[in-house]
A and B are shown apart, each in its own frame.
Chain A
Amino acid sequence: MYTLSISPHIHSSLSVKNIMLDVIIALVPALGMGIYFFGTQALYPIVISVLTAVITELIISKIRGLKTISNGSAIVTGLLLAMIIPPGVPLWLPAVGSACAVILGKEVFGGLGRNIFNPALIGRAILMASWPTFMTTWLEPKLSFFEGIDTITSATPLAIVKLNLSQELPSYWNLFIGNTGGCIGETSAIAILLGAIFLFIRKRISWHIPVSYIGCVALLSWIFGHNGLFTGDALFSVLSGGLILGAFFMATDYVTTPITPKGKIIFGLGAGIIVVLIRLKGGYPEGVCYSILLMNAVTPLIDRWKWTIPKKFGEINA
C-alpha cells in the first residue's frame, strides 16, 4: 500500500520541539548569570519551577489523553517563570506559580497554541497578587554560590526611583551585566541580549516587537522625566527592571502576540505605553508583566484589524 496524501511530500526539519529547544538554549546565558549572582537562591527555584511545570503538564496530558507533550513547551514555561520571580523565595512559591502557569495560563484554554495569555506571566501575576511580600523582597547579588545562605535584602533599581529610597542607584555597567537587585533572570541585559541574538540568527524571532517595545519605553521615559519634559533617563529605564527580558522572551511568544509585522509593531508600542504609564503613575514600580498581559488580551483584535494585514500579491489598491 502506498501512502496517499496531499502535497508537499517533503518537509523541512523544523518542528515545535526544535523551536522550543532553541528558546531553551537562548535562555541559558540569562539563567547562568542569575545563578552566578544569586547562587543556590536562584538555582533551586529554577529547578523546582521546571520540574513542577513538566510534572503538571504530564498529569494534564494524561487526563486529556494527549500523546504529544514531548514538545518541550513546559520546560520553557518553567524556565521563564523562574526568571521572573525574585531569588531567595520559599521553594513552594515557584512550584505554585509554575503549576498555575501551566494550568491556568495554558491548559485551561486547550494547550499550547490556544492560550490567550503568556503562561509564565500569568503565573507571575498570580504570585504577585497572592504573595506580594515574597514577590517584592529582593536579594543583593553576592556571587554567593559557595557562600551558603545570604539574606541581605535589597531593592530593585526601579523601586529605588519609585519610592525615593536613599539607596544609591547602580551604575549602567552593573545594570548591563546584571549586578543589581531583581528577578532571577531579568537583571543581566547582556546575557539576555546574547540569547536574543541567537534567536535572531536562527530566525526564531523578528525585530518588530522588541524594537518597538523598547524604543517606545525609551522615548516615553525620556520625554516624561522626573524633572520635567525631556529630562528622563532613557537608558536607565531600558536597563532596569524586566523590560529587556520581557521584550525579547515574553513579548515575542508566538501564540500570544500578533502575526503580521504591523500588528507586532502596534503590540510593541502599546506595551511600551502601558509600561511607562504603570512606572510613572501606577502603584507598582514595574509594569512589564502587566503591559504584555494586557496587550495579549487585545492581540486577537489587532489580528482582525484589516490595516495590519499585508497586501496580497497582485492586490489592486481600491
Chain B
Amino acid sequence: MINSSFYGGIHPEDSKTSTDTKEILNLLPPKKAIIPLLQHIGAICKPVVNIGDIVKVGQKIGNAHAFISAPVHATISGKVVDICPMPHPLGRKVLSIIIESDETDTWAIKETKREWKTLNPERIKHIIREAGVVGLGGAAFPTHVKLNPPENKKINTYILNGAECEPFLTADHRLMLEYAKQVVTGLKILMKATGVKKGIIGIEQNKPDALKKIADEINKESDANIDIIALKVKYPQGAEKQLIKTLLKREVPSGGLPMDVGVIVSNVGTSFAVYESVVERKPLVERIVTVIGKGIMNPQNLRVRIGTPFSSLIETCGEVKEEIGKIIMGGPMMGIAQYTTDVPVIKGTSGILVQTKDEVCDKPEECCIRCGNCASVCPMKILPNVITSSIKNDQLEHAKEYGLLDCIECGACTYVCPAHIPIVHYIKYGKTRLKK
C-alpha cells in the first residue's frame, strides 16, 4: 500500500458490485461487424480489401500508413459487403468496413505459440504494431508509438495501470483476476521491447483479489524486477500523470508526456493484448467490455469482437422496462454519450453504461458562486472556474494562461460543482476554439 497520492480528486460511489464478481463471458461473434478504419488517436487507415472479398478473422483489412496510426483487422470471417461511412462511438461518421459473417469463424493465424524471450525488441515492436494494439484504457493511443520514444528520452520505468478508477467499470479487474499470468507476461514483453529494467503495476486497493492474484504471479519468477503497489481509492487515480505522481513522485511537466520523466504507462488490458499478439499471434480483434448500469437487467463483463454493435451487447444483458436516458461508452466520469446503439464496439470501448431516464442529471446551469470546489478537487491544480468564465467571455488566451490545455477532462470539477455548470463541456469547447 502506498501512502502518497496526488492533489485533489473525488470519491464517487464506485458502483462496481454488480459485475466485479462475474466471470468474463464470451459473446458469440456478430452476424455483421462494422469495423471503423479509425479506432485510435492518429491517422485513419486505408482499406486493403474490396467489397465482395472474403476475409478471415485476424486478417488485416485496414493498413496504417502514418507512424501514429494502427492497422485494423477483420474480427469475423465472411464477406466484405460494404465500405462506407458509419456512425462511430466518438461521434460523426467514420469510413468503416462492413463484414457479413459466414458463421464458420475461420481464423487467419497460426496456432503455434511464439517464444517471446527469443525475440529481439525491434521484432516485438513490429509485431505489436502489426497486431493493431492500442491503449485499451480508453484513449486508444497506438502502443508501438509509445514504445519508440525519441533517442533523447531515456525510459527507466514501465508502469502498468490497473487502477480502474472509473466507477462502474470492472473489465480490467476481471482481466487481472482471470488472466493474471498473461497480464504480467505482457508487461515483461513490453519491458523487453523498450529495454526498461523496472516495472510497476498499480492497482486500487478496492480490488484486493486482483492485487493478490497479480502478486502471486510476479512472485512465481523471482528474476522479474516488477513491483505491485496498492493505490488509494480516489478518482482519477488511473489518470496517467496522477498515477506517475503517486507511484514515483515525479510530475510530468505541463504540456509534456510521461516519457519526459522516463516513464511509459500502459493499461493492463493493453498488456494482455500485447501478450496475445506476441505469444498467441492474435491481432487485436476482441476486447472485454463491462455492460452495466441501472438500465441493464443482467450486467456482465463480456468478451466481444470489435465491430459488434452496442445493441447486441445490450440485448444480451437485457434492457430494463424503464425508459432509457443515456447510453455511454466508457465510465460515467469520462465516457461518451451515444445517440444510437448501432455504433460498434471499438478498441477503446471499456464499457457500456446504460442510465435510466431518472438517473440523467439535467439540472439547469446556475451562475458560478465562486465556491472554489472545482479548484480544490482539480488533480491538475488549475482553476476551472476562471477558465470556464474566460471561455464564456471568449478570452481564450486568458483561459490558456490559467491552464486550459493542462486540463485532462477528468470531470471531477463538474461532479462537485454546486451550480451544475458543465465545466468539462466549456473546456472541450475552449480547446477546440483555441486550435482554430
Contacts and interface: CB of A to CB of B under 8 A. Distances in A.
Interface of A: 2-12, 14-16, 18-19, 67-68, 71, 110-114, 206, 254-255, 257, 259-260, 303, 309-316
Contact of A8 (B251, B255, B324, B414): B414
Contacts of A316: 253-254
Q: Pick from B245, B355, B367, B424 the residue with the most CB of A within 10 Å.
A: B367
Given A3-B325, A112-B369, A259-B385, A8 B337 contact: no
A249 to B, nearest CB: 15
B380 A9 contact: no
Interface of B: 6-7, 10, 12, 167, 241, 245, 251-256, 324-328, 330, 332-340, 353, 355, 360-364, 366-373, 375, 379-383, 385-386, 402-403, 406, 409, 411, 414-420, 422, 424-425, 428
A6 B369 contact: no
A254 to B, nearest CB: 5
A19 B419 CA distance: 10
A313 B335 contact: no
B382 A8 contact: no
A4 B337 contact: yes
A19 B353 contact: no
A8 B424 CA distance: 8
B403 A312 contact: yes
B360 A3 contact: yes
Contacts of B424: 6-8
Closest 3 interchain pairs by CB? A113-B367, A8-B411, A6-B425
A2 B337 contact: yes
A66 B210 CA distance: 52
Nearest to B353: A9
A309 B402 contact: yes
Contact of A3 (B362, B373, B402): B362
A52 B126 CA distance: 75
A6 to B, nearest CB: 4
Contacts of A303: 386
A204 B350 CA distance: 36
A9 B332 contact: yes
B425 to A, nearest CB: 4
B360 A71 contact: no
A255 B370 contact: yes
Given A15-B420, A312-B380, A316-B254, A68 B12 contact: no
B369 A11 contact: no
Nearest to A259: B372
A3 B422 contact: no
B254 A2 contact: no
A113 B96 CA distance: 48
Nearest to A8: B411
27 contacts: A3-B360, A4-B326, A5-B326, A7-B332, A7-B337, A8-B411, A8-B414, A9-B353, A10-B332, A10-B333, A11-B415, A12-B10, A12-B12, A12-B416, A14-B416, A16-B419, A18-B418, A19-B369, A113-B366, A254-B371, A309-B402, A310-B375, A313-B251, A313-B380, A313-B382, A314-B251, A314-B254
A101 to B, nearest CB: 17
Q: Pick from A3, A7, A260 the residue with the most CB of B within 10 Å.
A: A7
Given A7-B424, A309-B383, A312-B380, A2 B406 contact: no
Contacts of B330: 7
Given A5-B425, A254-B369, A314-B406, A15 B336 contact: no
Contacts of A260: 372, 375, 383
Given A9-B333, A259-B385, 14 more contacts: A2-B324, A2-B325, A6-B337, A6-B424, A9-B361, A10-B332, A11-B415, A11-B420, A16-B366, A68-B366, A114-B367, A313-B6, A313-B381, A314-B251
Contacts of B415: 8, 10-12
Contacts of A68: 364, 366
B10 A71 contact: no
A67 B325 CA distance: 24
Contact of B367 (A14, A111, A206, A309): A111
Contact of B406 (A5, A7, A313): A313
Contact of A7 (B12, B333, B338, B418): B333
Nearest to A306: B401
B186 to A, nearest CB: 28
A9 B364 CA distance: 14
Given A4-B337, A6-B424, A313-B379, A11 B253 contact: no
A110 B367 CA distance: 10
Nearest to A11: B361
Contacts of A311: 381
Contact of B326 (A2, A14, A111, A314): A2
B254 A19 contact: no
A303 B402 CA distance: 12
B361 to A, nearest CB: 4
Q: Pick from A10, A18, A114, A316 the residue with the most CB of B within 10 Å.
A: A10
A114 B417 CA distance: 17
A314 B361 contact: no
A3 to B, nearest CB: 5
A313 B7 contact: yes
A10 B337 CA distance: 12
A8 B253 CA distance: 26
Contacts of B381: 310-313
